[in-house]
Amino acid sequence: MKLTGEIVLEGVIDALRDQVAPQLTDAFAADAARMAQSLIAIVGRAGDDAAAIRVAENARIRELLGQGGLSEAAASQDPGLKISELDAENGRLRALLVELHARVEAEDGAEARALDQAIWRALRAFEMARAPRG
């Protein structure tokens, strides 16, 4: 068996549930142990697809930037697959998206409205993809 972060976190959850929690007689301590189990589970699930979520999000932002005429930004690439690298690129792309969105919201016309709505849909999808899963 290969020891992964997910397996380690599952082991911590099991230890809290099976060894620590049964020994806790204080209600506050027992609640804290249950909360810790839940938080560890959320972190474990978030780590599994963290890179995939960021790569997809960055690609979608680039599509929107391209639709808004920012061809240089749309043609950019992710610098690597480390979460820190993807997050830095995501921050850069999101800043450009905010500028584009402000510009589009100030414009009239069907094309501007369509891009405005596409940006709102994308932002909602980004948040849903990053939401904790139980």
Q: pLDDT tens digits for 63-78?
A: 999 999 999 999 999 9
How crowded is the C-beta side of 120, counted as CA atoms within 13 Å? 9
- Claim to verify: residue 63 and residue 123 sit in the same structural domain: yes
- Claim to verify: residue 109 and residue 58 sit in the same structural domain: yes
Task: Enter the tokens of residue 124.
Answer: 């909602």
- Claim to verify: residue 56 and residue 121 sit in the same structural domain: yes
- Claim to verify: residue 36 and residue 88 sit in the same structural domain: no
- Claim to verify: residue 43 and residue 58 sit in the same structural domain: no
Q: Residue with structure tokens 């979460």?
A: 83
- Claim to verify: residue 42 and residue 58 sit in the same structural domain: no
Say what the pTM is: 0.76
- Claim to verify: residue 124 and residue 65 sit in the same structural domain: yes
- Claim to verify: residue 28 and residue 56 sit in the same structural domain: no
- Claim to verify: residue 62 and residue 122 sit in the same structural domain: yes
- What type of residue sits at position 2? K
Cα–Cα distances (Å) from 86 to 53, 90, 94, in that order, read 10, 6, 12
**How many independent structural domains does the chain possess?**
2
- Residue 102 structural domain: 50-130
- Claim to verify: residue 61 and residue 116 sit in the same structural domain: yes
- 28-42, 90-104, 114-128, range with the lowest pLDDT: 28-42
> Region 121-132: what's the mean pLDDT?
93
- Cα-Cα-Cα-Cα dihedral sign, residues 54, 55, 60, 61: positive
- Claim to verify: residue 24 and residue 73 sit in the same structural domain: no
